[in-house]
Amino acid sequence: MKNIIISYAWQGIALVEFLVICFLLFKNRRKQKDVLKDALNKNKKNKIDMDSLMVDMHHSQELYKKLSRKFHPDRFIGTSLMDEAEQIFKKIQENRTNYASLLEIQIEAEQTLKN
Amino acid sequence: MWGSVDFIVNWFNDFSERRRLVRSFNRSAKQAFISGVAPTLLETKISNGDSAFRHNFSKFLGGGFRIKALSGIALNRQEMKQIGAVVLNNQELVRKLISLGFDTLEVHDNAGYNGLKWELYKYGGIGGILN
């Protein structure tokens, strides 16, 4: 009789453990789904910033020309800042139509290439 | 039957979203012009687009995103290129345009006879393996 009770108790414990594992797996999967859903919803709300697009269209070219002239690597030939100048010039060329990024690069360049 | 209902609902949704995008561009252009940020007034319209640039999601007779510059003088090629490049380098905007059924970006002025056009599909960075 005692053995039967013990075996039932073990079976009950095993069942409870199995249910807990299932619950945790289900919860984890749901959490992952929620993260993806949140990311998608966040993206839906994000509207394209047309105001900055207007600024890019009319002022980025001007700033690009100014920066590419001021921080051209040829100006730093023979100095220790040649590598940094090349990196900054690459960044300037990559962001030639993005006014906000060009402004950030200008600040960075002025700090790094100050000599 | 539900398939055709779904098609009609999607068509109207896409149409309103396209109009919203064009309206927001025009509103920003107007504000930039009034406040003095922009020297020329830009205006966008939905045009037919170029049939050579069509892709699978192109809208029938509405695949062109035309930017018109009210400059008063003929813009040179470089100026038009600059306006186009800003749109094309904004990959989020290009992808949105493609998904809304646009296939051609057109830039022209109100005085000259020349304009430029680009195939949007090439600038969307489309491709690669799905995860």
| Residue range B50-104, pLDDT digits in tens | 889 988 888 887 889 999 998 778 888 888 999 999 999 988 899 999 989 999 9
Cβ–Cβ of B93/A47 closer than 8 Å? no
Residue of B nearest to A95 (CA): B89
Chain center to CA of A105: 18
Query: In the sheet where B104-109 sits, what is the strand order?
Result: B41-47, B64-70, B104-109, B115-119
The residue of A40, A48, A102 whose CB has the most chain B CBs within 10 angstroms, and thus the best one to mutate to test that interface, is A48
Cβ–Cβ of A54/B42 closer than 8 Å? yes
pLDDT in tens, A23-75: 998 888 877 777 777 766 665 655 788 889 999 988 999 999 999 999 999 98
**Domain locations in chain B?**
2-130
User: What confidence tier does B118 reach under pLDDT thresholds 50, 70, 90?
Assistant: very high
pTM over 0.80: no
Looking at the partner chain, which of A55, A59, A97 has a beta carbon nearest the beta carbon of B85?
Answer: A97
Cβ–Cβ of A58/B38 closer than 8 Å? yes
Q: Tell me the C-alpha distance between A54 and B72, whole Å.
A: 19
Q: What residues in chain B have their Cβ under 8 A from chain A's Cβ atoms? A: 21, 24-25, 27-29, 31-32, 37-40, 42, 82-83, 85-87, 89-90, 92-93, 96
Are B62 and B46 in contact, with CB atoms under 8 Å apart? yes
pLDDT in tens, A94-112: 999 999 999 999 999 998 8
Residue of A nearest to B92 (CA): A48
The ipTM of this complex is 0.82
